[in-house]
Copies of this chain bind each other. A is one copy, B any other.
Amino acid sequence: MISRLQHARLAYQPKLPAVFREHGAGAASRDGDVHAPAHDGERIRGFFPNVYRLPMVSFDDDVCAPPVTQDPICVGVIFSGGQAPGGHNVVAGLVDGLKSLHPDNRLIGFLGGPGGLLRNDVVELTPEHIGPYRNTGGFDLIRSDRTKLESEEQFEAVRKHCNARGISALVIIGGDDSNTNACYLAEYFIRSNAGIQVIGCPKTIDGDLKNEWIESSFGFDTACKVYSELVGNIYRDALSAGKYWHFIRIMGRSASHIALECALQTHPNITLISEEVAHDNLTLLDITDRIAAVICERAAAGRNYGLLLVPEGLIEFIPEMRVLISELNDLLANDASLQRTLASAPDEAALTACGLTAASAAAYKSLPAEIRSQLVMDRDPHGNVQVSKIETEKLLIRKVAERLRERRAAGEYLGAFSAQNHFFGYEGRCAAPSNFDADYCYSLGYTGAALIGAGKTGCIAAIRNLHKPAEDWQPFGVPVTSMMNIERRGGKEKPVIKKALVDLHQPPFCELAAHRAEWAVADEFVSPGPIQYFGPGTITDLPPLTLLLEKGVSINGDIG
């Protein structure tokens, strides 16, 4: 059963770049330069001798060339990893683009992500099948999983399944790791003459798959707009009630892009940015001191309320916590039975007896019981701390309350501190895409079809000029190797797509840094409200503010 809004949205025709609108996915492709990665070029070439020498691909507005393949083809597609709004539109754009190349082209979806690719579990994705999923959220059309495609045995299994089905191209919709593995797969297929192209597509709400070529990963805009709606509503509640501090943890484990975007949209009193905490080497005590200082300043102005945003991954960026988590992971990997001993250790001596260093024992002991338990008892299948399940917002509330008691005892604080905690993540991952994401995803899918039509492989579908109207968007393909560097992973040096952290010197963070002192004390909040699909284009089609800032577009004064 579908809602009235979903029914209306089925009729929405996503906007395409002019080149595709005019020529379909058969628009003439143009090979550009070969772009070496910024670092480690020779070593990366060693891993990917074939993909490495591939050029950038753009599509030409002026010429209409026939597609490279004149015979009908069959293409496979998977979602890989966590959900992001707009995934269904990538598939819709892909199928429509393929049909624009040849009406008999076919699209096969592998069910359940990379795992389904290995199990050879498929469904044919006809336009009729995809119809009810257009402009909807979620990945439920073909689902996803977190299986990592990285071994030659897996690659060979994929080759066999694709060859047997006559699949000559595979589109992998995933984040940085999935696209890195897509590159290995492309290289393997070239080397083994498999006759299968591999095209990646940049997905992640976290926004950390972003670089010189990729302006934004899809889903980021919608997720941030959902979270900002909620943050704006809660700030207005804080202001209306005048008695609560709301501490809101928000998705984004490795990078704080979501927290930053939501902060720019809503102007919280305090926004923690993990990258800044790491850069400034701030301890938990430093952080809680700074928070307490703002709370005291607001209390002195009669404002015993406020709002703090904290990224999900913060705890791993606090130096002493990062060390503690790493020590706990090592200890428990060796001896899982230590879980209960650590959980019930009465003092620091007992903790060091388990193998923690004195510093980590002290750090552990300084945490509230609930957080200690989350650190040692909630482990993932590999025995690691589940950072995303640690209620950092509650940890901060407890530690800040301690600081405030000290300040009160010292006569520095006369206010009242009552806090509410929140976590926003699952609320936004499967929201129906905003117009920006609906258009962007559909165009990405179409770009994937065009790259396939042009016979390309080993590249990611990308779009430039996302800050402009969709007709001015420039679709292109970029070989995955161009965005790689070498990192140490699991004890080995590996070529991987570099994750984009928040850059403390770039405009989005600078915008926050320039205003946060003012937002801390005054009530300068903004309430963006829910995503709108009808009405003025300035509301429905607004791109993420971080994207606008990165493109040099001012976001001041353009509101209201």
Contacts from A to B (Cβ < 8 Å): 1-9, 82-83, 112, 136-140, 143-144, 226, 229-230, 232-234, 236-237, 239-242, 244, 246, 265, 267, 370, 420, 422-423, 426-432, 524-536, 538-539, 542, 559-560
Contact = CB atoms under 8 A, between A and B. Distances in A.
B237 A430 contact: yes
Contact of A3 (B1, B232, B426): B232
Contacts of A428: 233
A230 B138 contact: no
A423 B535 CA distance: 31
A535 B536 contact: no
A538 B4 contact: yes
Nearest to A432: B529
A250 to B, nearest CB: 13
B230 A529 contact: no
Between A7, A530, A542, the greatest number of chain B beta carbons within 10 A of the residue's beta carbon is seen for: A530
B430 A426 contact: no
Given A4-B542, A530-B530, A143 B242 contact: yes
Given A8-B539, A143-B242, 5 more contacts: A1-B526, A3-B265, A4-B542, A234-B430, A534-B536
Contacts of A138: 236-237, 239-240
A554 to B, nearest CB: 14
A233 B559 contact: no
Contact of A8 (B1, B527, B535): B535
A287 to B, nearest CB: 24
B137 A236 contact: yes
A112 B239 CA distance: 11
Between A136, A236, A240, A526, the greatest number of chain B beta carbons within 10 A of the residue's beta carbon is seen for: A240
Contacts of A233: 137, 226, 426-431
A535 B538 contact: no
A128 to B, nearest CB: 17
Nearest to A1: B526
A139 to B, nearest CB: 4
Nearest to A265: B3
Nearest to A558: B4
B527 A3 contact: yes
Contacts of A143: 240-242
Contacts of A525: 1
B526 A2 contact: yes
A172 B471 CA distance: 53
Between A3, A531, A536, the greatest number of chain B beta carbons within 10 A of the residue's beta carbon is seen for: A3
B140 A230 contact: no
A137 B525 CA distance: 13
A527 B1 CA distance: 9
Between A1, A112, A422, A533, the greatest number of chain B beta carbons within 10 A of the residue's beta carbon is seen for: A1
A532 B140 contact: no
Given A422-B426, A528-B3, A528-B5, A144 B240 contact: yes
Contacts of A526: 1-3
Nearest to A243: B145
Contacts of A370: 370
Contact of A559 (B1, B236, B427): B1
A240 B534 contact: no
A140 B240 contact: yes
